[in-house]
Chains A and B, each alone.
Chain A
């Protein structure tokens, strides 16, 4: 493994949820410790199984791992860190200011950026050679700050006066304002990150076109701010199983190899390793020791299978509701807005297209609108069904337009410092979300006459903020002009179950299900109750003779059960298809979950 050659002091693993970065980080830490180094493993994964792996409660303190001499671990809970941060600001006024006011303040501080910055705050001491970590030769992090966070911390203007004086004019530092550490310490942390002699960044991905595109974006963003020492690890690559002729396994191999052959050009130059898909669950010390080892024949042995699923479990699953059954219920409304929500890479666009095709097949007028950067899916559908119209919104174009519009109206009045801060603000993830949502909102109005199916949506947090701003604008407009105009905020439409159905898309894997559950509670905070969950790309919903895929299917069962019985009001399971679900026929196969069609 190239990423393990001559490792520097700090190793950061980054990648989207579910690619296996925590497993690889754990395996790396074990490997380094067993080669005689003293290693600290730092996990920020909310679904962290680090404690479980070592049979210890870890928590927010450094704990020696008795099972692996030389290894210690520390778990940082980013949500808890954000809560501590919020409490620091809100605590003193709770019970003093009206409750509604306090809630409003908390909402301002409840977004992903606050969480991320609070977590980075916790990292800082580990990066700046405090006595805390003096005894460790390597520190392995199972996550890395985003480019947005680092840029924010790099902006010298962001610090002027604020941290030193403890207060500023109505400043807009947002989450930064409550950070307690010294400016010099953040500067040192950012420098450590950008120093190739000290830090190596390992991008973890799967052999899927969409995932690789996203990783390429992360790579470019981090390289642009000086984090050039990067490696790429492709995890979970389907190996050629000796003699297996399973059609699904063969199709997955073909698809993955094609994705790797067409890897984005910016990733080609990076040192690359591939880690094969394992038949065993990546929990426990023996499993993690084997993760980065050479694939040996034993791995393929059926005796390695760990699941206890019975044939009855799978039969029950085959009777699980399919997407078409959900669409039956949606269709009875006659019109409305259907929004797919979920993290990148779970197949929102595919599910949105399948829902649209199913509705159109029932003779209903449907407008499918997508932000899929690949666009081929939308193109193959356009004009194929008389009831179905398709439009595409390019997030980059929309975001750039929005940025320019804001900079033009704002920038004219700002000096260089203010402009730099504003430009950075406009590079935040929520800017894209807002820009795209604005573009979509032009189409949303059609939902009174027909079905509108969208493959993206802003998070509950963003909606609350949009609504707060909307409410404020309403108030200003009322007072300034005394005219009583009728306003509808995006949230009012989304909160109305008669007008809008939110479908949460996920995969039957631990981290994606957890992320989807977080998304759901975020939406509930905004008064939006998700209507259904859709579990995409399920191997458990397909028959396969491949031992590897059978094991993956077993692993999926617990997650499907959690969705069905804990999280979702109603749900559907969508099978993994041999071929990419492009075109009307394959999308229908997806929705119907028919094995015969799925194989065709």
Chain B
């Protein structure tokens, strides 16, 4: 199974609760990640503000930051190679990389547990 790594920008939190607007893309993506994990996908997320070492340790990510800057995040690696940058993947893309058959979203799909509530922006 492919290993998917998501390098998030340094938002004070990945929901943007602290910002001027709550970013629906982040909410949707958190849910998609949770869904894919339940299907057995291996996905890791790293927040630049909290785990910068993860960015520094990857030559690919470090090079990306040097060329394009933090404003070009997120960056998504699949098995260590760049798969996508500048936006979050759709559920179908996650499914394709992870090699899982996409199924319709169940009404009672379990929501994401990863996010962000506790992050402090201040």
Residues of A within 8 A of B (CB): 89-90, 92-93, 96-98, 100-102, 104-105, 108-109, 111-114, 117, 152, 155, 157-158, 167-178, 406, 409-410, 413-415, 417-426, 428-431, 433-434, 438, 461-462, 465-466, 468-473, 475-476, 479-480, 490
User: In the complex, A306→B20 CA distance in Å?
Assistant: 51
Other 19 A-B pairs with CB < 8 A, given A114-B122, A469-B12: A89-B50, A92-B53, A98-B70, A101-B65, A112-B122, A113-B120, A157-B118, A171-B118, A172-B115, A406-B17, A410-B15, A410-B17, A415-B110, A426-B17, A434-B18, A471-B71, A472-B19, A479-B86, A480-B87
User: In the complex, A111→B13 CA distance in Å?
Assistant: 13
User: In the complex, A528→B45 CA distance in Å?
Assistant: 34
User: In the complex, A176→B120 CA distance in Å?
Assistant: 8
Contact A169 B33 (CB under 8 A): yes
Contact A469 B113 (CB under 8 A): no
Contacts of A414 in B (CB 8 A): 111-112, 115, 117
Contact A108 B114 (CB under 8 A): no
Specify the main secondary structure of chain A where it touches its partner: helix
Contact A422 B47 (CB under 8 A): no
User: Which chain A residue lies CB-closest to B68?
Assistant: A98
Using known A-B contacts A177-B50, A425-B117, A465-B12, determine if residue A413 contacts B122 with beta carbons closer than 8 Å: no
Contact A174 B70 (CB under 8 A): no
Contacts of A423 in B (CB 8 A): 117
Listed by A's residue number, 27 A-B pairs whose Cβ atoms lie within 8 Å are A97-B56, A101-B69, A102-B52, A169-B114, A170-B45, A171-B47, A171-B119, A172-B47, A174-B119, A174-B121, A178-B50, A409-B27, A410-B15, A414-B117, A418-B114, A418-B115, A421-B118, A422-B15, A425-B17, A425-B116, A426-B17, A433-B122, A465-B121, A469-B12, A469-B18, A472-B19, A473-B19
User: Which chain A residue lies CB-closest to B47?
Assistant: A170
Interface string of B76-97 (1 = CB under 8 A from A): 0000000000110000000000
Name the distance in Å between A148's Cβ and chain B's nearest Cβ: 9
Q: Is B38 an interface residue (CB 8 A)?
A: no
Residues of B within 8 A of A (CB): 6, 8-25, 27-28, 30-31, 33, 43-53, 55-56, 62, 65-66, 69-72, 86-87, 110-122
Contact A468 B122 (CB under 8 A): no
Contacts of A469 in B (CB 8 A): 11-12, 16, 18-21
Contact B122 A461 (CB under 8 A): yes
B117: contacting residue among A92, A421, A461, A471, CB under 8 A: A421
Contact A98 B116 (CB under 8 A): no
User: In the complex, A425→B19 CA distance in Å?
Assistant: 12
User: In the complex, A112→B122 CA distance in Å?
Assistant: 5
Contacts of A170 in B (CB 8 A): 6, 8, 14, 45-47, 114-116
Name the distance in Å between A368's Cβ and chain B's nearest Cβ: 24
Contact B113 A108 (CB under 8 A): no
User: Which chain B residue lies CB-closest to A469?
Assistant: B19
Contact A430 B121 (CB under 8 A): yes
Using known A-B contacts A92-B56, A468-B10, determine if residue A415 contacts B65 with beta carbons closer than 8 Å: no
Contacts of B17 in A (CB 8 A): 406, 410, 422, 425-426, 431
User: In the complex, A518→B79 CA distance in Å?
Assistant: 46
Name the distance in Å between A94's Cβ and chain B's nearest Cβ: 9
Contact A108 B33 (CB under 8 A): no
Contact B111 A105 (CB under 8 A): no
User: In the complex, A466→B19 CA distance in Å?
Assistant: 5
Contact B70 A169 (CB under 8 A): no
Contacts of A473 in B (CB 8 A): 19-21, 23
Contact B119 A104 (CB under 8 A): no
User: In the complex, A100→B21 CA distance in Å?
Assistant: 24
User: In the complex, A240→B2 CA distance in Å?
Assistant: 80
User: In the complex, A431→B19 CA distance in Å?
Assistant: 9
Using known A-B contacts A111-B120, A176-B118, determine if residue A470 contacts B52 with beta carbons closer than 8 Å: no
